[in-house]
Amino acid sequence: MNLNKSNKKRVVVGLSGGVDSSVTALLLKQQGYEVTGLFMKNWEDDDTDEYCSSKQDLIDAVSVADKIGIDIEAVNFSAEYKDRVFANFLSEYKAGRTPNPDILCNAEIKFKAFLDHAMGLGADLIATGHYAQVRENPLKPGLFQLMKADDGSKDQSYFLYRLNQAQLSKTLFPLGQILKREVREIARDAGLINAEKKDSTGICFIGERPFQEFLSKYLPREPGDIKTPEGKIVGKHDGLMYYTLGQRQGLKIGGSRESNGEPWFVAAKDMDKNELIVVQGHQHPLLLNDGLKASQLTWIDDEEPITNWVYAAKTRYRQPDAPCEIDRLSKEEVEIKFGQKQWAITPGQSAVVYESNVCLGGGIITSAI
């Protein structure tokens, strides 16, 4: 497919079939860009089953492209996804951690495989429907900053913190200054088929399918005991990989005479003994920590943040920014201390550091401290 030669900037938009990417393409076309849509297929192991929406998503993406009046191409990145994202996902779960594959998918597929493919088509820029903003650093011309979206309830900069300068310099986020309800209004006004389509939730390749059922196809179940910190057995687990720190649902722990009536939460995993450690009460001391260590660090402008300075950080997506400072920092590891104790800091998740509304970068949590 050749993109027409003209003076217009050529943008390839990742069209997922959802309302956000559709409105992204529409806005860019209205702004005078030469727009092409690209539908990415990243998963094909069981895409015929009831939980996989990729066929309907492609139909919706094609319909939107037709309505807007742009070309669309479908490209299959399933092999890259398996190698770069899914293999990591499985090895992390096997090790007892809780990874966030959407973060790796952004860094390795949406802003690497997709970006490379788009550049091969002769694009000047790529765009996605993420709620985030990118701007040139006013103090360092030529360097780009990742910023939060204006719609704080939808901001997705947390998932994008592993993007580098080369990726950000070629990326547009047209929805960064628009509220979600306005996006749906724009789609309705334009007569887009997916204006009311439900937002996709959950991990991109699992979708709505039951998580245990999905994971057990790839990792064997290893049942074991559920214990209190004092060593009392209160139940059986199906395999440590199915549980995450802070989890309350699905523990199947009945009431007991010693129980204080408060709900049970996962507080730790003992990988050597294959034991799940649970505690009662949301504010149990074992669920609260002053700080964390993280590795596999990435800083967006290649400059490390400074120690003993007040920043904010998130240790999971749906969480308000927590004031913190960086106690120790090397090339390999960061140690972050929070102003207030943080709940259920989870190895495998990402700790993402902000200065005001600028995302500085972050790393993968290795332990709570």
Active site residues: 105, 204
**Distance linking the first and last C-alpha atoms of the chain:** 53
Q: Judging by beta carbons within 10 Å of its beta carbon (0-12, 13-18, 19+), is residue 230 exposed, middle or buried?
A: exposed
Which pair of structure tokens corresponds to residue 8? 């217009």
* Structural contact between residues 338 and 320, judged by C-beta atoms closer than 8 angstroms: no
Which pair of structure tokens corresponds to residue 275? 């034991």
- Cα–Cα distance between 134 and 176 in angstroms, integer? 8
* Structural contact between residues 274 and 221, judged by C-beta atoms closer than 8 angstroms: no
Enumerate residues 6+ apart whose C-beta is below 8 A from 50: none
Enumerate residues 6+ apart whose C-beta is below 8 A from 311: 305, 323, 324, 325, 326, 353, 354, 355, 360
The runs of H, that is alpha helices, within the chain are 19-30, 54-68, 78-81, 87-94, 101-105, 114-120, 165-168, 180-189, 211-216
DSSP state at residue 132: E
SS3 10: strand
Enumerate residues 6+ apart whose C-beta is below 8 A from 139: none
Diameter over CA atoms, the chain:
77
* Structural contact between residues 276 and 266, judged by C-beta atoms closer than 8 angstroms: yes
DSSP element (H, E) containing 53:
none
**299, HSE (Cβ side, Cα atoms, 13 Å):** 13
Nearest to 28 by CA among 40, 15, 17: 15
